[in-house]
Amino acid sequence: MKINNPSPRGKSLEGDLRRVINDENFHDIALKCSDGKIIYGCKAILATRSDFFYSYIFTKSKNNNKFSFDDINSTAMKIILEFLYTSKVEEEKITVSNGIEAYYASIYFDLIDLQDLIIGFIKKFLMVGDDVGKKLLSECVEKFSLKVDNEISKILVDWVAKNKLEKTKIDSLSLEGLRYLLEKTFKAQIPFATPEFDIWQYALKKVTRKIVQNESLVEKILDEKSFSLCNSQEIKEIKIHLNTLIRYIDLKRMDAKEIDQHVAPFEIYSAKSISDGYRSISLDEGNEEGLGFIRGVPIFKWKIDRPEQTSRFLSSFFHVPNDGFTVTEQFNIQRSITGNLKFKGRGVYEWNILIENLCKTVYIGICNINDDLRKNDQGYHGWVLGSDGYAYHEGKWKRYDAKYKEGDKVTVHLDMKKKTCGFSINNNKKFIVSEWKNIPSQVYPVVSLGHGSKLRIEPINSSKI
């Protein structure tokens, strides 16, 4: 048997031990994995390096050289052996495709250091794009079950929650993954990017698409707001799936028009639930703050693809990296960019903007959702606080006594019930801008910045919602 040696023996302990992995010249134990493949190992190394294997080899199954692991596949087992033999895992060995399997195996064999290593890799994977987190969360729930509650599941829930669920996109989030996400965030005060009504529409389309499997028919069903185009079996399956989700979708966070026109017609919620939703909204109108339209703490990303404006226009002026939370102006022109979340309803909302670089004047605040950002008559849009300490709106300004500079944190305080707005600088809360009396019922968060300025959205840890 020819062995390919990467380096002379005796030069590197790690290299020498890596050679031993799955080499039949050295094995005295066979590990049959869930995919039917057999991985070979050395008893002395495994038992010395792992309490699990020590117990398994010398206590539970003494004198047995063959073991079966129904929940560990061969890819994950190779990662386990590599870590036990060398205390490391080569970076290319852990991928998006096997990360959850490897993490499951690290828990199964109680290898805490390996768990930390895999978590580090998975955090890097998440930076590739929004869908990676959805894929990994779905695999996590499938592997561990809906009762999972470990470090990686928390990381994945937090990550997916911060990325808006878009009904127009086909993504990798499974129905079980969606249910887990909604259950874990139902009453949790963590950053969340999707309004409750949008969750309903996302869930409705995802379930209908799964059962009907005809995209044009799915669109027609949703347009007509009726399942009458489906056969009885399809309707039954759609309702079964939706009923497992709607217990974690709160009608009280929608407005009456949304319920009446887009929820009630599908007859998924009971008549009592719909009635209770209307009643709660009616009573909520009299509350001082009201219930927010979004669960948890609202979080948004910078939006360069507003449908009413070409993405080419906005993207040519701004650099927004993959995570979507940072924006930099690329040309020597004052331009405005909004977040991808409409603030509406009756809640009180707050968000932080960190000033990482500041060149000339920066403006932070809110704008009408119908504002045309291509118009730049005043260098800003909407109701904003300038870094010069003045509050601005439609060419009018007022001294606000709240200058901010590079390194500062600006917090926007928006009360959609009272239609008021104020600001804090580094947690020092200032007064409400009393002159702003015409704030509309739906607004975007907005910033205006010039060349070289760089701003970052930061989630708020607590909320008044």
Taking phi over 0 as left and psi of -120 to 50 as alpha, with beta for the rest, 407 belongs to left
Write the DSSP symbol of residue 263: I
Token look-up 């199954």 returns 61
Is there a contact between 449 and 406 (Cβ–Cβ < 8 Å)? no
Where residue 60 falls among pLDDT bands split at 50, 70, 90? low
pLDDT tops 60 at residue 315:
no
Verify that 122 and 67 share a domain, yes or no: yes
Rounded mean pLDDT, 355-366: 94
Q: What is the pLDDT of residue 237?
A: 97
How does residue 214 score in pLDDT terms, banded at 50, 70 and 90? very high
For residues 238 and 187, state if they share a domain.
yes
At residue 307, the pLDDT reads 47
DSSP structure string for 150-199: SHHHHHHHHHHHTS---TTS--S--HHHHHHHHHHHSS--SEE-S-HHHH
* Claim to verify: residue 447 and residue 334 sit in the same structural domain: yes
Tokens of 47: 């038992």
The yes-or-no verdict on residue 16 having pLDDT over 80 is: no
Q: At which of 127, 146, 167 does a domain end?
A: 127
The distance of Cα 185 from the centroid of its chain, to the nearest Å, equals 11
Angle 130-144/151-161 helices, nearest 10 degrees?
A: 140
Are 436 and 341 within one domain? Answer: yes
- Give 233-247 pLDDT, tens digit per residue: 999 999 999 999 999
Question: Is the pLDDT confidence value at 305 over 70?
Answer: no
pLDDT value at residue 330: 79
Amino acid 360: pLDDT: 87
Question: Is 445 a member of any domain?
Answer: yes
pLDDT tens by residue, 85-97: 889 898 899 999 9
Is position 163 within any domain?
A: yes
Q: Is residue 140 part of a domain?
A: no
Query: Is the predicted pLDDT of residue 443 greater than 50, yes or no?
Result: yes
Own/partner contacts of 280-283, CB < 8 Å, gap of 24 or more, are 280/251, 280/252, 281/252, 281/254, 281/255, 281/256, 282/256
226 shares its domain with 120 = no
Task: Find the domain containing 424 and state its range.
Answer: 300-305+315-458
pLDDT (average), residues 407-431: 93
pLDDT at residue 6, rounded to an integer: 56
| Same domain flag for 339 and 448 | yes
Q: For residue range 118-176, what is the model confidence (pLDDT) as tens digits?
A: 999 999 999 888 899 999 999 999 999 999 899 999 999 999 999 999 999 999 999 99
Q: Does the structure show a pLDDT above 90 at 26? A: no
Between strands 191-192 and 297-298, the pairing is parallel
The pLDDT assigned to 284 comes to 64
User: Do 401 and 454 lie in a common domain?
Assistant: yes
Q: Which of 108, 127, 146 is the last residue of a domain?
A: 127
Q: Provide mean pLDDT across the span 173-189.
A: 96
The per-residue pLDDT for 308 is 45
Task: Say which DSSP state 265 is in.
Answer: G
Kindly indicate the confidence band of residue 314, based on its pLDDT and cuts at 50, 70 and 90. low
User: Which of 390, 386, 433 shows the shortest CA–CA distance to 408?
Assistant: 386
| Over residues 350-367, mean pLDDT | 95
Report if residue 147 sits inside a domain.
Answer: no
448 and 324, same structural domain? Answer: yes
Same domain, residue pair 264 and 335: no
Residue 224 in this model has a pLDDT that exceeds 80: yes
pLDDT reported for residue 3: 46
Look at residue 112 and tell me if it is in a domain.
yes
**What mean pLDDT do residues 20-41 have?**
84
Q: Per the domain annotation, does 295 fall within a domain?
A: no
Higher pLDDT, 45 or 107: 107
Distances (CA, A) of 51 to 21, 47, 64, 113, 146: 19, 7, 17, 14, 28
Confidence of residue 384 (pLDDT cuts 50, 70, 90): very high
Does 195 share its domain with 63?
no
Look at residue 291 in the predicted model and tell me its pLDDT. Answer: 59
The number of distinct structural domains making up the chain is 3
Q: At 392, which helix (H) or strand (E)?
A: strand 390-393
273 shares a domain with 404: no
In a domain, 135, yes or no: no
| pLDDT tops 80 at residue 341 | yes
Single out the residue in 127, 149, 172 at which a domain terminates: 127
Residue 463 DSSP SS3: coil
Angstrom distance (rounded) from CA 371 to CA 347: 22
Longest dimension (CA), the chain: 86
Name the band, by pLDDT with cuts 50, 70 and 90, for residue 2: very low
CATH of the domain at 55: 3.30.710.10
Residue 138 lies in a domain: no
DSSP 360-387: S--EEEEEETT--TT--SSS--SEEEET
Mean pLDDT, the chain, as a whole number? 88
pLDDT tens readout for residues 262-301 = 999 999 999 999 998 888 877 765 554 455 888 988 899 9
In terms of domains, do 163 and 257 share one? Answer: yes
- 401 strand-pairing partners: none
